[in-house]
Structure 1
Amino acid sequence: MAPKKKRRFGRIRKLPSGRYQARYLGPDGVDRPAPQTFASVREADDWLAEQQTEVRRGDWVDPDAGAVNFEDYALRWVKERRLSPTTDELYRRLLRLHILPTFGGLDLDEIAPARVRSWRSERLDATGAETTIAKAYRLLKAVLQTATDDELIRRNPCRIKGAGKETAEERPTATVAQVDALADALGPRWRLMVYIAAYGPARPEEQAAMRRRDVDLDNVGIWVRTAEPELTTGRRAPGDTKSDAGKRFIVLPAFMGKDLKRHLAWYAEKTPDGLLFVGEKGKPFRRSTFGRKWRRARAKVGLPENFRFYDLRHTGHTLSTQSGATLKDTMVRAGQSSERAALIYQHSNLERQREVAGGIDARVRAEREKAADVPDEQPSGTERARDA
């Protein structure tokens, strides 16, 4: 009888219960038992072979490393990112409302792909907010990817293809007449804000930070240097623009020169560094107060409830692209650093398609008339078709 071959990796022993226990010495020098017992030697041996393969490939992860509470890790992850106030607020809100109620009490290594799938399905059913849940999924995936990079877990359990992709509906636009009507409905104090949003086009948080010194009357334009978004708590968070490209000089349509002069004379704070937009009581622009005025003006003009003030920016870019602006032109005016963001405004709506078709029609008619003036012994196929 051949002698029994000595095991080179790990140990297996039979327990009094009849089941088998497997153990091995980890790369960290710690004796590591399997998390469960096995019904046969073969099953125990297969488990040891998997551990040996991971050690040889350098894929071995300390099985105790993932015993870190997800909530503690996620909150520390947000803090370490040094995010902008608005992004920090968004991430903490997504964690509080959508992620921590399910995963907050679990350790990192307890979050499995099946649990992630069930969580996403439940959130979609409960909220119907596909865009918000896509954001929450992306955040969860980012946190767990860092945990993977930190070697706390072996592999990111967020593996749902396309789950983090947002498919936003195309935003509505206003006509020039509707923009004018909105400016009139909001009143002279906010008229310039409407026009800068539509024809600048500047973001609301950029307008909130604009100062008297930013206005250039000679060149009919305005500088965007900073941004002051308003958090849900009502606190303003002065800081940089959304990207480096956000710092820019916006050349405004010439007709706005009169509006700029009048606003500076009547409504802007009088100090050289005074705010351009302040409320009736001289206080800084507030989203909540302006929001009530906006909703009344929108209803008066007859625009749909889903038309946001931010959609004036979309309106302005649509008008500029229809006027011949290139992709680069759009990026500069929008203060965007990526073509992907600028392409949002490069869509072609029905009216633009009619304009394009009209141009083709005029060109074809002109060419046909030109050809008809040249005598030809044999009529062309186009002429025969037209005369048929």
Structure 2
Amino acid sequence: MASISRRTVSGKPRYDVNYREPDGRKRRKTFLKRVDADAFARTIETDKLRGTYLDLDAGRESFGAYAERWITHTSRDPQTLAIRERILRLHIAPAIGDVELRKVTGSTLRGLISSLEVADKYAADIFGLVSSILTAAVDDKLIPTNPAKDASVRRQKPRAPRRKIQPWPDEWIDAMHTAIHDRYKVTITLAAGLGLRQGEVFGLAIEDVDMLRGVVRVKRQVKMVGKTLVFAPPKARKDGDAPREIPLPADVRAELAAHLSTYPAQAVTLPWREPDGKPTTVHLITTTRNDQAIRRTSYNETVWSTARKHAGLTIGGEIETGMHGLRHWYASSLLAGGASAVEVSAYLGHSDVAFTLRTYGHLMPSSESRAREAIEAAFERSRTAGNAAAPDGSLHQRYIGGV
């Protein structure tokens, strides 16, 4: 328990609070007034009992120094690290980098928000990074609470505009498939028929396709780290995670077989995750004319843009005209066909179903229609069962008829 002792300094009383931290270290804090010493002693003991005790020296580190250390240890993805470091250097550090963690308040963050002169989505990303750093500081027992969660800050925090996904018209799929170079037709089919992200299409290997079971396992993507192509786990997946499995439709399987008969899978070696990562070799289904892994920028600027122009797809409207639009079409087709949000989330490789619902919920069949159809089907089963139990249908008919 904390104890209070009185002593005199230059003829004036001083009150020392002597206590131990949770780890047993002895500490002392001096007050001019006994009432302040008593309050501090009570607070110390209460915080220790509740598990909310903070070191008196905690939070003296600058926000910028802590943020740099946090960023370095939060992701192994070089691209993610580069993005976070850039946001910290350009937008966060100039505003609050020199502020001690314990002195970052709601007012500090409201000032940061008002100083951001960037697009709403980018501003939301900046604020999200600040909030994540402060949450980590709370977990590290450096500050008691995260001021980014204060009510006044939440009301002012930037939010990315939410745009409802508009799936491609069905004819766009055929138009792009017709317009694109023969070597890359299968990229359309893999993206639209399996819902793969662009990097996952480029990273799909023949070893990942189980023709007999009709299943595709998504194990990797091709991505750029700086100017270097690497293999990496799919988005939101870690090394060692089980690959997600996607049903292989008959049409996709047939086109895949036809593609491989003309353009056989090629052994391609790329480093894993980072430019100096472990060399990894797989037999890629889609490659360049030089039998190399496809570089996203080259594909988009030449193959995709040329095909889009020939197909007559309008740029600048409400519909996503990049390759990701094929993934949206896949999701919307599944939902229209009655697949559950849980199934769609699993096939798309989303980290949680809530994200799938936020993104595609408006494309799901009307809940009113589903409820109406479900109850009508239940009544039909009831009538069938009732007529079978009572040939004259008397009791059943009186109930259904409201008699």
Query: Which TM class, normalised by the smaller chain length?
Result: 0.7 to 0.9
Alpha carbons 1:246, 1:336 under 8 Å: kept = no
Name whichever of 155-164 and 206-215 sits farther off. Answer: 155-164
1:342 aligns with 2:356: yes
Query: Could you tell me how far 1:214 is from its partner in structure 2?
Result: 2.4
1:282 aligns with 2:276: no
Alpha carbons 1:317, 1:345 under 8 Å: kept = no
User: Normalising by the residue count of structure 1, what TM-score does the alignment of the two structures yield?
Assistant: 0.72
Corresponding letter in the other structure for 1:298: R
1:208 aligns with 2:202: yes
Report what 1:101 is aligned to.
94
The CA distance in 2 between the partners of 1:53 and 1:321, in whole Å, is 58
The CA distance in 2 between the partners of 1:10 and 1:94, in whole Å, is 51
Alpha carbons 2:165, 2:359 under 8 Å: kept = no
Report what 1:298 is aligned to.
308
Residue 304 to residue 113, structure 1, CA distance change in 2 (3 Å): same
Report what 2:40 is aligned to.
51
Corresponding letter in the other structure for 1:254: A
Aligned mate of 1:316, from 312, 323, 330: 330
Corresponding letter in the other structure for 1:93: R
How many residues are aligned here? Answer: 337
Report the 3-state secondary structure (helix = DSSP H, G, I; strand = E; otherwise coil) of the residue aligned with 2:59: coil
Report the 3-state secondary structure (helix = DSSP H, G, I; strand = E; otherwise coil) of the residue aligned with 1:329: helix
Alpha carbons 2:15, 2:34 under 8 Å: kept = no
Q: CA RMSD for the aligned pairs?
A: 3.7
Match runs of 1:196-235 below 5 Å? 196-218=190-212, 221-231=215-225, 233-235=226-228
Q: Deviations over 1:212-240 (max 9, x none)?
A: 22234455553312233333x13334233
The CA distance in 2 between the partners of 1:190 and 1:213, in whole Å, is 19
Report what 2:393 is aligned to.
none
Report what 1:71 is aligned to.
64
Residue 26 to residue 319, structure 1, CA distance change in 2 (3 Å): farther
Aligned mate of 2:113, from 102, 111, 120: 120
Alpha carbons 1:217, 1:257 under 8 Å: kept = yes
Residue 120 to residue 314, structure 1, CA distance change in 2 (3 Å): same
Alpha carbons 1:117, 1:160 under 8 Å: kept = no
Report what 1:37 is aligned to.
none
Alpha carbons 2:335, 2:363 under 8 Å: kept = no
Report what 2:251 is aligned to.
255
Query: Could you tell me how far 1:100 is from its partner in structure 2?
Result: 2.0
Alpha carbons 1:94, 1:136 under 8 Å: kept = yes
1:185 aligns with 2:156: no
The CA distance in 2 between the partners of 1:116 and 1:248, in whole Å, is 40
Residue 32 to residue 253, structure 1, CA distance change in 2 (3 Å): same
Report the 3-state secondary structure (helix = DSSP H, G, I; strand = E; otherwise coil) of the residue aligned with 2:286: coil
Alpha carbons 2:190, 2:196 under 8 Å: kept = yes
Q: Deviations over 1:139-197 (max 9, x none)?
A: 22222222223232233222245448655312231112101212233322221112211
The CA distance in 2 between the partners of 1:21 and 1:119, in whole Å, is 43
Residue 320 to residue 61, structure 1, CA distance change in 2 (3 Å): closer
Residue 263 to residue 33, structure 1, CA distance change in 2 (3 Å): farther
Query: Could you tell me how far 1:324 is from its partner in structure 2?
Result: 1.7
Residue 75 to residue 191, structure 1, CA distance change in 2 (3 Å): same
The CA distance in 1 between the partners of 2:267 and 2:212, in whole Å, is 20
Query: Could you tell me how far 1:62 is from its partner in structure 2?
Result: 3.6
Aligned mate of 1:132, from 122, 134, 141: 122
Report what 2:140 is aligned to.
150
Query: Could you tell me how far 1:119 is from its partner in structure 2?
Result: 0.4
Unaligned runs of 5+ in 1: 1-6, 35-40, 368-388
The CA distance in 2 between the partners of 1:145 and 1:206, in whole Å, is 32
Match runs of 1:369-384 below 5 Å? none
Residue 96 to residue 191, structure 1, CA distance change in 2 (3 Å): farther
- Larger fraction in strand: 2
Runs (4+) off by over 6 Å: 9-15, 20-23
The CA distance in 1 between the partners of 2:263 and 2:94, in whole Å, is 47
Report the 3-state secondary structure (helix = DSSP H, G, I; strand = E; otherwise coil) of the residue aligned with 2:323: coil
Report what 1:243 is aligned to.
237
Report the 3-state secondary structure (helix = DSSP H, G, I; strand = E; otherwise coil) of the residue aligned with 2:216: strand
The CA distance in 1 between the partners of 2:13 and 2:55, in whole Å, is 19
